[in-house]
């Protein structure tokens, strides 16, 4: 009967008790509340495309986060500087199979395609690609000698190669299609630019900070919950194309806060809350420098 009266009067007893607990025991409440937060999954942050600028750019991600942290409290500036130094690039002259290339830099085609073969199926299907002479002609048109050296980028984060092309890659796509149909290949002499995450910088990030990638509304929900419990934390922006996502930032020097984060991570999967440092450590495809 009392429950019916409570419902009829609009009084929510459970919510009232939660509010009292949060005010009296904010850290105890936060430790248990993070288990119950309903968080929706993050959509693919590194989509497949024949255009490299549609892939996830770690450099852009870290720069965006660093810029937002630079504008916040001074205690987060050291992390901002760390993020700016996270990536490095080295160059190596190499011979590379064109079949290993996942994407290109530029195209005038308005339609997106998941890979170069899909692009070629509609954009290069009228280019002859059957005989040896046609194969050699497409090599000459796709990679003219006057434009040597050819530049390829390799990303150790996801193991993807992309060609820094200047012209529409139709003849390159025709080459790839003929390679697939006839089980042949072509090795391109090129300069490979290897994009890497500096291991010692990543170690400093993982030992000192939590960077949790979440949907914006849930990250702010966590931020407000922990701020009420008097924990130091911050929000940092993700890259501009995914304004629905942000980083929740905290230091790892407070064991009580660490326990709350562990509770959050153990009760949500990696599509809901992404431990960024852990992701960078696990997603690593070293360049074979031979």
Predicted pLDDT at 143: 96
Domain annotation covers residue 170: yes
- Domain co-membership, 104 together with 80: no
- Domain co-membership, 172 together with 79: no
- Domain co-membership, 274 together with 264: yes
- Domain co-membership, 158 together with 178: yes
The answer, yes or no, to whether residue 263 has pLDDT greater than 80, is yes
d(C-alpha 159, C-alpha 255), whole Å = 36
Predicted pLDDT at 137: 97
Note down the domain range covering 220. Answer: 27-47+55-86+199-282
Predicted pLDDT at 3: 46
- Domain co-membership, 42 together with 123: no
The answer, yes or no, to whether residue 7 has pLDDT greater than 50, is no
The answer, yes or no, to whether residue 4 has pLDDT greater than 70, is no
Alpha-carbon separation of residue 25 from 38, 168, 225, 226, 272 (angstroms) = 22, 63, 12, 12, 27
Q: Is 161 exposed, middle or buried (0-12, 13-18, 19+ CB in 10 A)?
A: buried
Q: Could you tell me what percentage of the chain is helix, strand and coil, using 3-state DSSP and rounding each to the nearest 5?
A: 50, 20, 30
What confidence tier does 93 reach under pLDDT thresholds 50, 70, 90?
very high
CB neighbours of residue 51 within 10 Å: 18
Domain finish residue from 150, 178, 197: 197
The mean pLDDT value for 225-248 works out to: 94
Domain count across the chain: 2
- Domain co-membership, 137 together with 113: yes
DSSP state of 244: T
The mean pLDDT value for 36-44 works out to: 93
Domain annotation covers residue 288: no
pLDDT, tens only, 155-213: 999 999 999 999 999 999 999 999 999 999 999 999 999 999 999 999 999 999 999 99
Domain annotation covers residue 5: no
The answer to whether 86 and 204 are in contact (CB under 8 A) is no
Predicted pLDDT at 236: 98
Q: What is the DSSP pairing of strand 187-197 with strand 150-155?
A: parallel
d(C-alpha 158, C-alpha 103), whole Å = 13
- Domain co-membership, 144 together with 275: no
- Domain co-membership, 241 together with 193: no
Q: Which residue has the tokens 């914006």?
A: 216
Domain annotation covers residue 6: no
d(C-alpha 60, C-alpha 73), whole Å = 22
**Residue 194 bridge partners (DSSP):** 90, 154
Q: What is the pTM of this model?
A: 0.88
Domain finish residue from 161, 176, 197: 197
Tokens standing for residue 67 = 């810029």
Predicted pLDDT at 26: 64
The mean pLDDT value for 27-31 works out to: 80
Q: What is the DSSP pairing of strand 245-251 with strand 209-215?
A: antiparallel
The answer to whether 150 and 188 are in contact (CB under 8 A) is yes
CB neighbours of residue 118 within 10 Å: 16
Q: Prior bond to 163 cis, omega within 30?
A: no
- Domain co-membership, 130 together with 112: yes
Q: Quick one: what percent of the chain has pLDDT higher than 90?
A: 83
- Domain co-membership, 249 together with 164: no
DSSP state of 131: S
The answer to whether 172 and 104 are in contact (CB under 8 A) is yes
Domain finish residue from 173, 197, 221: 197
Please list, residue by residue across 78-89, b when 16 or more beta carbons sit within 10 angstroms of its beta carbon and e when fewer do: ebbebbbebbee
- Sign of CA pseudo-dihedral 120, 125, 128, 132: positive
- Domain co-membership, 171 together with 238: no
Domain annotation covers residue 10: no
* pLDDT, averaged across the chain: 91
Predicted pLDDT at 22: 52
- Domain co-membership, 241 together with 214: yes
């Amino acid at each position: 009967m009392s429950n019916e009266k409570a419902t009829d009067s609009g009084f929510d007893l459970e919510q009232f008790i939660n509010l009292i607990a949060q005010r009296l025991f904010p850290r105890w409440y936060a430790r248990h509340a993070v288990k119950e937060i309903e968080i929706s999954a993050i959509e693919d942050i590194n989509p497949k495309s024949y255009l490299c600028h549609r892939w996830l750019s770690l450099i852009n991600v870290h720069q965006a986060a660093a810029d937002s942290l630079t504008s916040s409290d001074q205690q987060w500036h050291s992390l901002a500087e760390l993020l700016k130094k996270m990536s490095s690039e080295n160059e190596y002259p190499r011979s590379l199979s064109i079949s290993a290339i996942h994407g290109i830099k530029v195209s005038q085609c308005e339609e997106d395609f998941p890979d170069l073969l899909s692009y070629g199926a509609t954009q290069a299907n009228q280019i002859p690609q059957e005989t040896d002479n046609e194969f050699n002609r497409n090599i000459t048109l796709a990679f003219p000698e006057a434009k040597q050296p050819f530049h390829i980028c390799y990303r150790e984060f996801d193991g993807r190669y992309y060609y820094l092309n200047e012209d529409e890659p139709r003849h390159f796509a025709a080459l790839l299609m003929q390679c697939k149909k006839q089980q042949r290949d072509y090795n391109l002499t090129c300069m490979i630019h290897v994009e890497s995450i500096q291991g010692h910088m990543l170690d400093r990030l993982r030992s000192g900070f939590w960077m949790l990638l979440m949907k914006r509304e849930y990250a702010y929900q966590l931020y407000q919950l922990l701020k009420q419990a008097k924990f130091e934390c911050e929000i940092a922006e993700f890259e501009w194309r995914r304004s629905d996502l942000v980083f929740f930032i905290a230091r790892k020097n407070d064991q009580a806060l660490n326990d709350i984060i562990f509770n959050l991570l153990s009760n949500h999967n990696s599509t809901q809350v992404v431990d960024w440092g852990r992701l960078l450590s696990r997603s690593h495809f070293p360049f074979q420098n031979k």
